[in-house]
Structure formats: C-alpha cells, structure tokens
Amino acid sequence: MKKNIILMGPPGAGKGTLAKQLKEALHLVHISTGDMFRDAIKAKTELGNLAASYINRGDLVPDDVTIGLVKERLSQPDCEAGFLLDGFPRTLPQAEALEEIAKQISRPIEVVVNLDCDNEELVRRISGRRVCKNCGAPYHVVTMKPKAEGVCDLCGGPLYQRKDDNEEALKVRLEHYVAETKPLLDYYEKLGLLESFDSLVGKEQLFDEVKNFLNK
Ligand code: AP5
C-alpha cells in the first residue's frame, strides 16, 4: 500500500472530502493546512489572526509560516504510519522544503494524487459548500445534503459557509492555483510521482478508484 501521499487539485476539487474518506479506510494521518489555519482562527491565536488576513481574501499564507507548521506536524510520531497532505505544497518553495523535510524524517513522498475538475463545477461546488463548525465535514446544499438541514450527520454540529467561499475570494484562489500550484504538477510528473483522477465521477466512485490505486 502507498503511504505518504500528497493530494492536489484546485479549490473545490474534492481534496478534503476524499482525504476524510481515505483517512478512515487506510488509517492515515490527514494533514490539511487549510484546516490547521481554520482551527487557529477559531482559537483566536496569533497564527490564526495572521492566517485570517490572507485566507479571507483568497490569498496564500506566506511560505515560511506554512512550511514551519507542516514541518512540525510531520515530525510527530503518528505520521510514521503514513500521512495524507491536503493543500500542501502549493508553491515551488513549499515543494522544495517538503523534499528536504521528507529526507530529514525519512518518510519520502510515495505518490501525488491530483484531482482534475473543470472551473464551472468548481464554482458550483464552492458556492454550495457548507462545512461543519465542529468536525469540518463537508456538505453541499444540492449534491451532498445532510439528513437534517444545517446539522452535521456525523457529530450534530452546525453547518456554516466558509468566509472564503464567495465569488471574489474564489477568483483570487483560482488565480493563485493557476499561477503557483498548477506548475507543481509538472514538478511531480518529472519526479514520476503524479497520478491524476477525474473528480467529476462523483464522491463514491472517486474514493473507490483512488483507494484501489493506493492499495496496489
Ligand atoms: P484549503 O482549505 O486547503 O482550501 P482549498 O485548497 O481552496 O480547497 P477547498 O477546501 O476549498 O476544497 P477541497 O478541494 O478540499 O474540496 P471539498 O472536499 O471541500 O485552504 C484554504 C486557504 O488556506 C487557502 O486559500 C490559503 O489561503 C490557505 N492555505 C492553505 N494551505 C496553504 C498553503 N499550503 N500555503 C499557503 N496558504 C495556504 O469539496 C468541495 C465541495 O464539493 C463540497 O461541497 C463537497 O461536498 C463537494 N464535493 C467534493 N468532492 C466531490 C465529488 N467527487 N463529486 C461531487 N461533489 C464533490
């Protein structure tokens, strides 16, 4: 089975949704930089205040801050069993730093799972997304409704719309994706690590396809 995985794809491609499914099925540690920043924002820490000033307008949090956070998390013993990086790396300096960190902790990246999704669908997914305030589980007002409106199926927490899930911030997020993150696909292709999947097939089929691939 492949461990030490990077999940890549544009905002709304389904990284978080897939990571939560794979984490349960394959017993991997899910490391989402977006979730880590949102936790810090909720806890009103210094990191949270800094992150909010970038995230809410759709910009990337500076590399040094993000790299430091991931380095610290990857060094923890639970990552020995394997990890899923969701939302990191997003820039070339982050990818280069990750290569160094992976060497230092002797946990090399084994595969980069990229989710393809067209822009129209990304806009539909992001504009309809609702997230649980307690556990972060993602829903959609049309395609992935909770059993009871506004309530998380998993923990009963209230659902909310993320501050960066609006038209203006999404435009900025997509611009960052095209300019800074998409070029990393070539970087990982050259390293022979890239494997792309069509995320339009739907949540369950995508999960089956990726899980079967990782289990090979
Ligand atoms: P982050 O939280 O990582 O956001 P993102 O990359 O923009 O991705 P999203 O969480 O929006 O989408 P997703 O791909 O996880 O989709 P989801 O599964 O929710 O980052 C947020 C911000 O933090 C960044 O903008 C930046 O400011 C900062 N940040 C984070 N990492 C950083 C870094 N490394 N460097 C600098 N800054 C960083 O699904 C979306 C919707 O679609 C849901 O409604 C879901 O129900 C639905 N859906 C999901 N999968 C499917 C499917 N297969 N079929 C149909 N519907 C689906």
Confirm whether 95 is domain-assigned: yes
Whether 80 is covered by a domain: the verdict is yes
When divided into structural domains, the chain yields a total of: 1
Establish if 16 belongs to a structural domain.
Answer: yes
Give the residue numbers annotated as catalytic, written as ranges. 15, 90, 129, 162, 173
Q: Whose CA is nearest to atom 55 of ligand 1?
A: 202
Please check whether residue 150 lies inside any domain of the structure.
no
Per-residue pLDDT of 144-159, as tens digits, reads 999 999 999 999 999 9
Percentage of the chain lying above the pLDDT 70 cut: 100
Strand, coil or helix: 33: helix
Q: What is the mean pLDDT of residues 172-195?
A: 98
Q: pLDDT tens, 18-36?
A: 999 999 999 999 999 999 9
- Whole-angstrom Cα distance, residue 59 to residue 32? 16
What pLDDT score does 190 carry? 97
Q: Return the structure tokens found at 131.
A: 């997230």
Does residue 143 have its Cβ closer than 6 Å to ligand 1? yes
- Give the mean pLDDT of 111-131: 95
Residue from 94, 97, 101 nearest 74 by CA: 101
Q: Is residue 30 part of a domain?
A: yes
φ/ψ (deg, to 5) at 197: -130, 150
Asked if residue 189 belongs to a domain, the reply is yes
State percent of the chain over pLDDT 90: 96
CB neighbour list of residue 173: distance below 8 Å, 6 or more residues apart: 11, 58, 164
For 63-67, 89-93, 212-216, which range has the lowest pLDDT when averaged over its residues? Answer: 212-216
pTM: 0.95
User: Could you tell which of 129, 172, 175, 205 is best to mutate to test the pocket of ligand 1, judged by most ligand atoms within 8 Å of the CB?
Assistant: 129
Pocket test for ligand 1, best of 32, 47, 60 (most atoms within 8 A of CB): 60
Does 105 map to a domain? yes
Which domain, by its residues, includes 182?
5-118+176-214
Distance of alpha carbon 97 from alpha carbon 209, whole angstroms: 30
Q: For residue 216, what pLDDT is reported?
A: 86
Across the range 206-212, mean pLDDT stands at 98
- What average pLDDT does the chain have? 96
CA dist 16 and 131 (Å) reads: 11
pLDDT for the residue numbered 145: 95
Walk across the sheet containing 129-132 and list its strands. Answer: 138-140, 129-132, 159-160
pLDDT at 203 exceeding the cut of 90: yes
The Cα 169–Cα 99 span in angstroms is 30
**Cβ–Cβ < 8 Å for 97, 67:** yes
70: enclosing H helix or E strand? helix 63-74
99 inside domain: yes
CATH number at residue 186: 3.40.50.300
